Structure 1
Amino acid sequence: MLSMIPRLIGHRGAKESAPENTLASIREAAAQGAAWIEFDVMLTRDGVPVVIHDDTLDRTTDGHGPMNVVDHAALKRLDAGSWFDSRFAGERVPDLTEVLDLARSLTLGINVEVKPFPGQEEETAATVISFLQRYWPDNGRLLVSSFEVPSLETVRRLAPALPLGYLLWDPPADWAAIAGRLRADTLNVDQERQTARSVAEYRATGRPVLAYTVNDAGRAAELFSWGVSAVFTDAPGRLQREMGAM
């Protein structure tokens, strides 16, 4: 059963202040007061679930090429921090188990986005569920989300009671039917595409609406006034302060 989700969720940790999807970013989110974080999970060539967003290594590491051809040992040798700031030199792409251990030690809730390399939608979801069932027993502080319907179908089949978030960017015409078939617990939507009307349509399904990615306090206030339940933000501490000053 999904417990109360806080209004602000750290996006890839606190990626305004630290390199995204790293242990440093997660620590920073907790230091800024975030109660929940969101992060992305993909598989290495040899099937190890790791926390990284892109299909390629180039943007957030000193490696190059697609994720699906690098094995775990080679990935762990890459620097995932220097691109952001020299203070983070030597930061690594973390394993899912490392992130779960850290989040648990910091008493953080987690939104795990299944972010499969194309063609690995079912395999990635199944691996994530296997690890969550072993290392994260608290479903009340857990949401698993994905843009990929095959991934969500796999999650629902393997973990019928697990809280599920249906990620939407450009919603298909039958999005509501898909959400119903998946028994999605939340609808996670692109904030830039939202209006009061669109939020009302999502909320009419009876599901909480979570909006990504919101770094402006005025926009966050507007979304909340429309009935959005939570926003993903790169700057949980700053946004909290700025909203408190409004």
Structure 2
Amino acid sequence: MSTLPAWPYPRWIAHRGAGKLAPENTLAAFRLGARHGYRMFECDAKLSADGVVFLMHDALLDRTTSGSGTGGELPWSQLSQLDAGSWHSREYAGEPLPTLANLARWCLASGHLMDIEIKPTPGTERRTGEVVAREAAALWAGTPVPPFLTSFQPESLKAALEVAPQLPRGLLLDKLREGWLQEAQALQCAAVVCHYSLWDADAVAQVHGAGMRALSYTVNDESVAQWLWQLDTDGIVTDRVDLFPPD
């Protein structure tokens, strides 16, 4: 049996900060996840029109902010004024969109770890991968455990590899398309991150045999989590920070 490279990350990762318990991708959500004991968090990073890396999942502003239209088409001066909390609940009214730099300051001060999903506005895959990776490398320079960069977009991961090869990468998959393992290897990934339903013993063995880790998103059911641990997978992204005690 081959020995896998060292993996410095915990098994449980809080999705978008605190899953659905607070407005996703806000500092309020990361703080709430931390209060539940989580040490590692997933976020979504994209670019403003003037190149600021900020946190938001959707291409459109409408679902999670007081704005409308495509977030990546606005400058940070406008994005920074939006309310990213009221959509969730009155408790979080006025919560702003954070930048990656905001999040890094919090992580570095509190000792938390990050899984940064590169989430480009369509058409900006390469540039977003470059800017996010370069900025993450600078923000976390000299830290013992670097941020983990993931993306569904191979072009973004390729750009991240070129500008910051020292940062570990993970290929996100919502299906096991033809050549998926070779694609992850070509991108020199440290992990493959699949929708949990895609894993079986053979797929996990293939990933481990290639020297990579097998992670799952987004697991909110206890029986599914137990099944994934029995398959010897290496990490789970969850919304249920209130259900699963992190290790």
Q: Distance in 1 between matches of 2:174 and 2:159?
A: 20
- Decide which of 122, 138, 158 is 2:163's aligned counterpart: 158
Please list, as runs of the form range in 1=range in 2, the aligned pairs for 1:51-70 lying within 5 A after superposition: 51-70=55-74
- Decide which of 145, 169, 184 is 2:189's aligned counterpart: 184
Aligned residue number for residue 20 of structure 2: 16
Task: Report how far residue 205 of structure 1 moved.
Answer: 2.2
Aligned residue number for residue 167 of structure 1: 172
Matched, 1:113 2:117: yes
Aligned residue number for residue 239 of structure 2: 234
Contact 2:136 2:147 in 1 (8 A): no
Q: Distance in 2 between matches of 1:51 and 1:2?
A: 29
Quick one: structure 1 residues 182 and 9, their matched pair in 2 at CA, closer, same or farther if it must change by over 3 Å?
Answer: same
Q: Distance in 2 between matches of 1:211 and 1:3?
A: 15
Unaligned runs of 5+ in 1: none
- Decide which of 178, 190, 206 is 1:201's aligned counterpart: 206
Matched, 1:219 2:224: yes
- Decide which of 89, 94, 100 is 2:98's aligned counterpart: 94
Contact 1:2 1:139 in 2 (8 A): no
- The secondary structure found in structure 1 opposite 2:170 is strand
Matched letter for residue 136 of structure 1: W
Quick one: structure 1 residues 166 and 115, their matched pair in 2 at CA, closer, same or farther if it must change by over 3 Å?
Answer: same
The alignment's TM-score, normalised by the length of structure 1, stands at 0.93
Aligned residue number for residue 79 of structure 2: 75
Quick one: structure 1 residues 35 and 185, their matched pair in 2 at CA, closer, same or farther if it must change by over 3 Å?
Answer: same
**RMSD over aligned Cα, in angstroms?**
1.7
The alignment's TM-score, normalised by the length of structure 2, stands at 0.92
- The secondary structure found in structure 2 opposite 1:236 is coil
- The secondary structure found in structure 2 opposite 1:200 is helix
Matched letter for residue 92 of structure 2: F
- The secondary structure found in structure 1 opposite 2:97 is coil
Task: Report how far residue 3 of structure 1 moved.
Answer: 4.2
Select the structure that is richer in helix: 1
Matched letter for residue 154 of structure 1: A
Deviant stretches of 4+, over 6 Å: none
